[in-house]
Structure 1
Amino acid sequence: MDALEDPVLAQPVGLCCLKGSIHSGEPAGKIVQIGGVDTYVATPDKTTSNGHVLLFFPDAFGLHINNFLTMDAFAACGYLTLGVDYFAGSWKNKHMSSTDRVAAKWARDVEAEYGPNGEVKFVCAGHCWGARFVCGQLSKDGFCKAGAIAHPSFMNESHVIGIDAPILFSVPVTDSLFMPEQRRRAVEIMTEGKKKYNMQIFSNVAHGFASRAFLSDPYEKWAKEQSFKSFVQWFDFWLSVS
């Protein structure tokens, strides 16, 4: 499908994807190799584990402190959380062409390693760069029961058309990469396709708020935390009825 047949909904990564606050904290997880790809693994406590696995597709910062802490937070909510380093330690100029291939293979390797008996349920989350990979895992060819994305980039209509499992969007009211007209078109596609979806829209935050909010700003901190809570509640609900 060429560009004329597959209009862009969320624009490619721009400078806004590199702005925001660097958070502080000590990551609790570890990096292992899955299918030859560095993978951050955040493991829930045995008393809180729900037995499910969350695939995390990070923003343009890749495996970075902010994303480590987010994955640790998902683990604290009971999910064994796995994050992929599709940039191989670098950023888009070097690895743009390979991230789709790496992400797809990595997801299959994760499924083979963590869910071979079919008892484990999978969900997926993605910020910015990771949004389209979440869409892919929610297609008929994917294996995730539900997904959630925040401030997407590099997302075309075909990514949304192909969604076949519940999806949550968490977005700013004004985002230069996902403008209101494209947001309305995404809603139109999902509504016409009778897809299970929800979209939460936050005012007074920018692209990247869910991963790089300025925590010194009370409202930005609240919006980031609310977005995260919505992801977890979305996953918990759909897994409870699947």
Structure 2
Amino acid sequence: MSCPDCFRGAQHNHTEPKGTIETIHGIKTYVAGGSDPSRSKSTIIYLPDAFSLKLVNNKVLADEYATQTGCKVYIPDVIRNGGGVLTKIYTIFLILPEAVPFMLFGKPENVYPQILDYARAVKKDLPAGGKLGVAGFCWGAWPSTKLCAETATPGGSERLIDAQFNGHPSYIVNTPDMVVDAIKKFKVPYSVAVAEEDMQFNKAEAEKMEARLRDDIGVSGGEQGYIYEFRIYKGCKHGFCVRAPLGKTKKEHDSENEDGYHGSLKQAVEWWNKYLN
């Protein structure tokens, strides 16, 4: 399975990243926001697509989350740091982008233990009253979903994640039980931005997932207290939450994916402000 829309998207040059690169719990991490704890005590872990910190768009989007929520946002470079083969053949992405199977670059479960340890360490560092959110895109949507069923400490009972958002997810279409468990186990608010024309998790798959959830745990916002949403972005393709072309000329303009980019940004920010702040 390949992910050509990840490669066709644009690099965003409308602004420069405002965050810093730091080593957090042993992992190279992009850090956005968090300078004003009076606005928010919460932190969001941003699990990116396979381009990770190599793609400026991920940093720019993290900056937007930080600015609009007041939360601190971390992008841990877990793909480069722990992915092994990812580092060695990253240049192939640049040489033969549409010929390289996305799966070649490592399934997320290969580095999931490292992601879990990182998230637990970040949770432990939160100030009193702080909450932990997680965002995942493409590759990152699988670990962001799985983290929702984890405890804050090994063998503990407190949930690790307080709210989850993912955009144009990969892999989760093959693991519907994991999505059910992510919502059911600790009632973590779970939000997804879905590209209508995604080659994997598209409108049809999202509708099937919602039907499964209604059967297994009931409707969102019902008596059982489960909260979930799958918003479909008409005409959008995989990668739209991060790589949609912005501000192009009329001839080049991709209004559906650009509108989807702004819509999914608003969706995520509203989710964070409701459940983390």
- Taking structure 1 as the reference length, the TM-score comes to 0.85
SS of residue in 2 equivalent to 1:229: helix
> In structure 2, what is the equivalent of residue 208 of structure 1?
239
> In structure 2, what is the equivalent of residue 85 of structure 1?
77
Out of 77-86 and 39-48, give the one that drifted further. Answer: 39-48
> In structure 2, what is the equivalent of residue 159 of structure 1?
178
Alignment of 1:1-242 (within 5 A): 14-24=3-13, 25-46=15-36, 49-63=39-53, 64-77=55-68, 78-88=70-80, 90=87, 93=104, 95-96=106-107, 98-112=110-124, 114-115=125-126, 118-141=128-151, 142-155=159-172, 156-164=175-183, 165-192=188-215, 193-194=217-218, 195-215=226-246, 216=248, 217=253, 218-239=255-276
- Which contiguous aligned blocks of 4+ residues in structure 1 show a shift greater than 6 angstroms? none
Task: Report the structure number with the largest CA radius of gyration.
Answer: 2
Residues 41 and 129 of structure 2 are in contact (CA less than 8 Å); yes or no, is this contact kept in structure 1?
no
Residues 210 and 223 of structure 1 are in contact (CA less than 8 Å); yes or no, is this contact kept in structure 2?
yes
SS of residue in 1 equivalent to 2:50: coil
Residues 192 and 231 of structure 2 are in contact (CA less than 8 Å); yes or no, is this contact kept in structure 1?
yes
Q: Which residue identity does 1:220 align to in structure 2? A: N
Aligned equivalents of 1:76, 1:48: Cα separation in 2: 13
Q: Which residue identity does 1:184 align to in structure 2? A: E
| Unaligned residue ranges in structure 1 (runs of 5+) | 1-11
Q: Which residue identity does 1:75 align to in structure 2? A: A
Percent sequence identity is 25
Q: Are the structure 2 counterparts of residues 34 and 95 from structure 1 closer, same or farther at C-alpha, using a change threshold of 3 Å?
A: farther
Residues 135 and 163 of structure 1 are in contact (CA less than 8 Å); yes or no, is this contact kept in structure 2?
yes
Query: Of the two structures, which has the highest relative contact order with CA contacts closer than 8 Å and spacing of 6 or more?
Result: 1
Deviations 1:3-62 (A, max 9, x none): xxxxxxxxx662333220011132111111122211111024528732211111111211
Aligned equivalents of 1:29, 1:95: Cα separation in 2: 27
Aligned length: 227
Aligned equivalents of 2:202, 2:44: Cα separation in 1: 28
SS of residue in 2 equivalent to 1:126: strand
Aligned equivalents of 1:209, 1:126: Cα separation in 2: 13
Residues 13 and 129 of structure 1 are in contact (CA less than 8 Å); yes or no, is this contact kept in structure 2?
no
SS of residue in 1 equivalent to 2:236: coil
SS of residue in 1 equivalent to 2:52: coil
Deviations 1:85-123 (A, max 9, x none): 1112635746546322222222122222x22x6521111
SS of residue in 1 equivalent to 2:79: coil
Q: Which residue identity does 1:166 align to in structure 2? A: P
Deviations 1:160-218 (A, max 9, x none): 02113111111111211114442222112222223311111111211000000011234
RMSD over equivalenced CA pairs, Å: 2.2
Q: Are the structure 2 counterparts of residues 239 and 111 from structure 1 closer, same or farther at C-alpha, using a change threshold of 3 Å?
A: closer
| Unaligned residue ranges in structure 2 (runs of 5+) | 82-86, 91-102, 152-158, 219-225
Residues 13 and 153 of structure 1 are in contact (CA less than 8 Å); yes or no, is this contact kept in structure 2?
no
Task: Tell me by how many angstroms 1:150 deviates.
Answer: 0.7
Deviations 1:127-149 (A, max 9, x none): 11111122122225351111111
